[in-house]
């Protein structure tokens, strides 16, 4: 979607000139971010191996910290797919593919779905690709009992953060589909092969058991935290959804994506992705400029932040009520007889 070119010259789109100032990656910042994310992650991996012989509780504590750095690496992977981390497409692709192996995520497959998500986020008539499954009240009431059961299970936090990460890691990111193009399919095969090769080589060095004791908690914890982040970025109290005829790119970004105000340390580990409204306004802004873009411009003062309490309350919001124009819980509707 070339919204920048289409919007120039329109006085209602002054926001274009605002975001264009931040759409330029800085090579030194990008390289430094790779260094302060990848090197600590590798060091923690080594410390986890050393700690196994002392206490596995120490290992698990280090796994939680390691998962934070892996999320930070995933944010770099995410930026590379948007072409926002380096000016060079080749550099973005090389780094993105490499980080896709570390995060167990095929680069081209994931980013195809993610780009569809950016182009359709908040559009009720274009749900289903790269988003969180969301039904309207009417759709839910008219659904079969089985579909309602599956939907309620999907929206249950326990299922979402136990079965969800395992499904993403073991199935969703590992298989190809007929509609995928050749590049996406080959990248899935390549990523799977490299993960297998990585696991084999490390297992030969430290043993298969030690590899599992380290890698499994790190990859599951990072995916749990990543799923939580993605969920609350588009499922919150003041979120806005529109039908196609009323859908607008700018309003979708500003009202359909959250400003998740995290503690400073969590903001650092998550690569400022809590400024999701800015990211959806322009996916070309590198993660290290998202906060700066928000705070330097009065344009974003209308955005109400959501805190940690509101973020967890989002799990009680399950359906979009088109009449009330807000997300509501299952408890607020009456099922048909």
Tell me the DSSP string of 190-225: HHHHHHHHHHHHHHHHH-HHHHHHHHHHHHHHHHHH
Contact 259, 305 (CB under 8 A): yes
Q: Model confidence over 257-279: pLDDT tens digits? A: 999 999 999 999 999 999 999 99
C-alpha 284/C-alpha 298 separation (Å) is 20
Q: Residue 236 pLDDT > 50, yes or no?
A: yes
Q: What does the pLDDT read at residue 12?
A: 57
Q: Residue 337 falls within a domain, yes or no?
A: no
Under the banding of pLDDT at 50, 70 and 90, the label for residue 336 is low
Under the banding of pLDDT at 50, 70 and 90, the label for residue 308 is confident
Nearest to 301 by CA among 269, 325, 330, 277: 277
Q: Residue 10 pLDDT > 80, yes or no?
A: no
Which is it for strands 326-328 and 319-321: parallel, antiparallel or unpaired? antiparallel
What total number of domains does the chain contain?
Answer: 1
Q: Residue 102 falls within a domain, yes or no?
A: yes
Phi, psi of 238 (to 5 degrees): -100, 20
Q: Residue 86 pLDDT > 80, yes or no?
A: yes
* Residue range 71-96: mean pLDDT, rounded: 97
C-alpha 162/C-alpha 153 separation (Å) is 12
Q: What does the pLDDT read at residue 238?
A: 87
Q: What does the pLDDT read at residue 191?
A: 98
* Residue range 150-154: mean pLDDT, rounded: 94
Question: Average pLDDT of the chain?
Answer: 92
C-alpha 236/C-alpha 317 separation (Å) is 7
Which is it for strands 135-136 and 319-321: parallel, antiparallel or unpaired? parallel
39-48, 91-100, 129-138, range with the lowest pLDDT? 129-138
| Strands of 135-136's sheet in order across | 135-136, 319-321, 326-328
Q: Structure pTM?
A: 0.92
The gap between the terminal CA atoms of the chain, to the nearest Å, is: 44
Q: What does the pLDDT read at residue 177?
A: 92
Q: Residue 56 falls within a domain, yes or no?
A: yes
Q: Residue 79 falls within a domain, yes or no?
A: yes
Q: Residue 72 falls within a domain, yes or no?
A: yes
Q: Residue 250 falls within a domain, yes or no?
A: yes
Buried b (16+ CB within 10 A) or exposed e, 291-312: eebbeeeebbeebeebeeebbe
* Residue range 84-96: mean pLDDT, rounded: 97
Q: Model confidence over 162-208: pLDDT tens digits? A: 999 999 999 999 999 999 999 999 999 999 999 999 999 999 999 99
Q: Residue 205 falls within a domain, yes or no?
A: yes
Q: Model confidence over 243-261: pLDDT tens digits? A: 999 998 988 999 999 999 9
Q: What does the pLDDT read at residue 335?
A: 61
The range of the structural domain enclosing residue 283 comes to: 3-332
Q: What does the pLDDT read at residue 334?
A: 67
Nearest to 303 by CA among 256, 263, 254: 254
C-alpha 182: how far from chain center: 24
Q: Side-chain half-sphere of 185: how many Cα atoms within 13 Å?
A: 7
């Amino acid at each position: 979607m070339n919204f920048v070119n289409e919007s120039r010259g329109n006085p209602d789109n002054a926001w274009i000139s605002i975001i264009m100032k931040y759409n330029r990656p800085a090579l030194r910042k990008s390289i430094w971010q790779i260094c302060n994310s990848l090197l600590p992650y590798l060091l923690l991996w080594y410390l986890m191996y050393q700690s196994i012989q002392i206490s596995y509780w120490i290992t698990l504590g280090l796994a939680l910290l390691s998962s934070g750095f892996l999320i930070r690496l995933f944010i770099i992977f995410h930026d590379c797919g948007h072409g926002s981390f380096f000016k060079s497409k080749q550099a973005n692709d090389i780094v993105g593919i490499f980080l896709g192996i570390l995060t167990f995520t095929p680069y081209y497959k994931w980013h195809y779905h993610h780009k569809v998500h950016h182009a359709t986020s908040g559009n009720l008539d274009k749900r289903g690709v790269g988003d969180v499954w969301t039904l309207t009240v009417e759709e839910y009431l008219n659904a079969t009992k089985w579909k309602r059961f599956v939907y309620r299970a999907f929206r249950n936090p326990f299922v979402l953060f136990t079965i969800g990460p395992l499904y993403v890691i073991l199935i969703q990111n590992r298989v190809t589909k007929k509609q995928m193009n050749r590049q996406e399919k080959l990248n899935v095969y390549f990523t799977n092969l490299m993960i297998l090769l990585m696991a084999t080589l490390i297992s030969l060095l430290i043993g298969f058991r030690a590899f599992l004791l380290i890698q499994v908690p790190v990859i599951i914890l990072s995916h749990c935290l990543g799923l939580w982040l993605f969920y609350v970025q588009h499922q919150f109290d003041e979120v806005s959804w529109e039908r196609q005829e009323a859908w607008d790119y700018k309003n979708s970004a500003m009202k359909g994506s959250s400003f998740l105000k995290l503690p400073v340390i969590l903001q650092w580990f998550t690569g400022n992705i809590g400024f999701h409204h800015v990211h959806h306004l322009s996916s070309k802004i590198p993660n290290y400029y998202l906060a700066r873009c928000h705070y330097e411009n009065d344009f974003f003062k209308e955005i109400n932040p959501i805190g940690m309490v509101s973020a967890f309350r989002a799990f009680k919001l399950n359906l979009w009520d088109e009449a009330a124009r807000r997300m509501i819980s299952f408890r607020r509707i009456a099922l048909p007889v």
